[in-house]
């Protein structure tokens, strides 16, 4: 296993994410077995959040920590944007500690930036928690570069330890700004969805290339992807899985030795260009396991209480902030006005339209063969 430093602690470059959509209490035995399998390979970083299963993920981990030496685990959790007031941060973390059956978090991250609470107030609470010994390191998640800079400058007695963001062979937006910022400021990038929800790469040609490399290095294509990501010394990956054998594969990816020429070829050849797509050609449905606003009026009303709201995010977009491209897949019906299906980024899609109307094309990544 490769280890990186977050604060004063050594953290495995391959971690374990628990971002399941709806973990259930009955999954406890399988989760414990999977985490133990990961730890057997040297994994010590486990990432969770209060919103995963509405607290169930943390509760399940808390039961597991009764059987596992807590000091052997680097445990990270988060604070939701609606809890980012000073008192809200304190209460959120204390609730997480109770559910997790622990006295401290090794890393506490603001899950999403808030448009209603100043980052100075939020970071003041985080520093108070460090002072009280309830958290040891401060991080952020899903922050743009400017938002990360604001978080860093708001800290008085602590440094920003990490930025958690999606990073995989399909979504490589962080390479343009966030990763250089991490390198300059000794901040670790924690990559969620490193295997792109099991898709690994975009299209048969890219997947075929990964398959040939996997054969060359006697590994799996997923291991090749993870090893490429952690070849950057500022990157830690947190794949999630419910399969013990997959957790072992993920952990062992750090032990693969890949030639520099193959790293470079992956870096240049496995990319998906950002396209500018007519917003009127995009179909919005509640497929893909998540509810979504299907009309502009629904987005304006925000009855699902999304945070940030579509209107709040649109204001950021008007000022030039755009976290990352939406993702689409092409529809096969050539007679339809709708040429693309919206796979991910629904909030960003509606916020873009609120900000710019229907005529300005939206930045998007288009899946092949999905």
What mean pLDDT value characterizes the chain?
Answer: 91
The residues annotated with a catalytic role in the active site are 52
- Closest Cα to residue 325, out of 340, 304, 309, 312? 340
Instruction: Please give the structure tokens belonging to residue 14.
Output: 């391959």
Does position 38 have pLDDT exceeding 60, yes or no?
Answer: yes
Phi, psi of 102 (to 5 degrees): -145, 165
What CATH number has the domain spanning 275-367?
A: 3.90.1530.30
Does position 88 have pLDDT exceeding 90, yes or no?
Answer: yes
Beta strands 74-79 and 107-110, pairing class: parallel
Please state, for a pLDDT cut of 70, what percent of the chain lies above it.
95
Distance between CA atoms of residues 299 and 313, nearest Å: 11
Alpha carbon distances (Å) from 250 to 220, 254, 266: 9, 8, 19
pLDDT, tens only, 329-361: 988 876 677 889 998 888 899 999 999 999 999
Tell me what pLDDT residue 25 has.
55
- Closest Cα to residue 70, out of 41, 35, 26? 35
| Strand residues in the chain grouped as ranges (E) | 3-6, 9-12, 16-17, 45-47, 74-79, 107-110, 138-141, 160-166, 188-192, 235-237, 275-277, 282-283, 326-330, 340-344, 362-367
Q: How many C-beta neighbours within 10 Å does residue 140 have?
A: 28
Q: How many C-beta neighbours within 10 Å does residue 36 have?
A: 15
Distance between CA atoms of residues 366 and 370, nearest Å: 9
Helix (H, G, I), strand (E, B) or coil at 342: strand
Residues found in the chain: 370
Q: Return the CATH fold of 3-269.
A: TIM Barrel (3.20.20)
Does position 21 have pLDDT exceeding 60, yes or no?
Answer: no
Tell me what pLDDT residue 167 has.
95
pTM of the complete model: 0.90
Tell me what pLDDT residue 20 has.
65
List, in sequence order, the alpha helices (H) in 54-115: 56-64, 86-100
In terms of pLDDT, which residue wins out, 24 or 100? 100
Q: How many C-beta neighbours within 10 Å does residue 360 have?
A: 12
| 6 Cβ contact list (under 8 Å, min separation 6) | 74, 106, 107, 137, 161, 162, 188, 236
Distance between CA atoms of residues 365 and 325, nearest Å: 6
Alpha carbon distances (Å) from 242 to 12, 132, 163, 257: 19, 35, 25, 26
Domain locations in the chain as residue ranges: 3-269, 275-367
Q: Please name the helix (run of DSSP H) or strand (run of DSSP E) that holds residue 136, with its range, or none.
A: none
Does position 237 have pLDDT exceeding 80, yes or no?
Answer: yes
Q: Please name the helix (run of DSSP H) or strand (run of DSSP E) that holds residue 349, with its range, or none.
A: helix 346-356
Q: Answer whether 107's CB lies under 8 Å from 132's CB.
A: no
Tell me what pLDDT residue 272 has.
92
């Amino acid at each position: 296993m490769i280890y990186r430093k977050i604060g004063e602690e050594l953290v495995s470059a391959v971690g374990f994410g628990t971002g399941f959509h709806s973990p259930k209490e009955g999954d406890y035995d399988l989760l414990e077995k999977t985490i133990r399998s990961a730890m057997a390979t040297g994994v010590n970083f486990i990432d969770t959040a209060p919103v995963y299963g509405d607290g169930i993920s943390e509760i399940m981990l808390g039961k597991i920590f009764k059987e596992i030496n807590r000091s052997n685990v680097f445990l990270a959790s988060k604070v939701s944007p609606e809890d980012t007031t000073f008192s809200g941060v304190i209460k959120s973390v204390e609730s997480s500690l109770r559910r997790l059956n622990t006295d401290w978090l090794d890393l506490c991250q603001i899950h999403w930036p808030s448009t209603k609470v100043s980052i100075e107030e939020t970071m003041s609470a985080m520093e108070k928690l460090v002072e009280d010994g309830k958290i040891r390191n401060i991080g952020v998640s899903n922050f743009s570069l400017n938002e990360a800079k604001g978080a860093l400058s708001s800290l008085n007695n602590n440094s920003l330890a990490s930025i958690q963001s999606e990073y995989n062979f399909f979504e490589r937006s962080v390479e343009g700004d966030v990763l250089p910022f991490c390198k300059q400021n000794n901040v670790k990038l924690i990559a969620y969805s490193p295997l792109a929800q099991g898709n690994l790469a975009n299209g048969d040609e890219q997947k075929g290339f990964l398959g040939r490399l996997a054969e060359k290095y006697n590994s799996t294509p997923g291991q090749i992807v993870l090893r490429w990501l952690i070849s950057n010394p500022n990157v830690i990956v947190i794949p999630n899985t419910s399969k013990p054998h997959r957790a072992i594969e993920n952990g062992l990816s750090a032990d693969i030795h890949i030639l520099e020429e193959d790293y470079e070829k992956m870096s240049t050849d496995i990319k998906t260009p950002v396209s500018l797509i007519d917003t009127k050609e995009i179909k919005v449905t509640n497929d893909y396991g998540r509810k979504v606003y299907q009309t502009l009026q629904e987005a304006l009303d925000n009855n699902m209480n999304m945070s940030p709201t579509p209107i709040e995010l649109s204001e950021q977009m008007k000022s030039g902030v755009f976290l990352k491209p939406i993702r689409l897949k092409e529809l096969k019906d050539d007679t339809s006005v709708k040429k693309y299906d919206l796979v991910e980024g629904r909030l960003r899609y509606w916020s873009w339209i609120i900000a710019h109307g229907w005529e300005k094309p939206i930045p998007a990544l288009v899946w092949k063969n999905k």
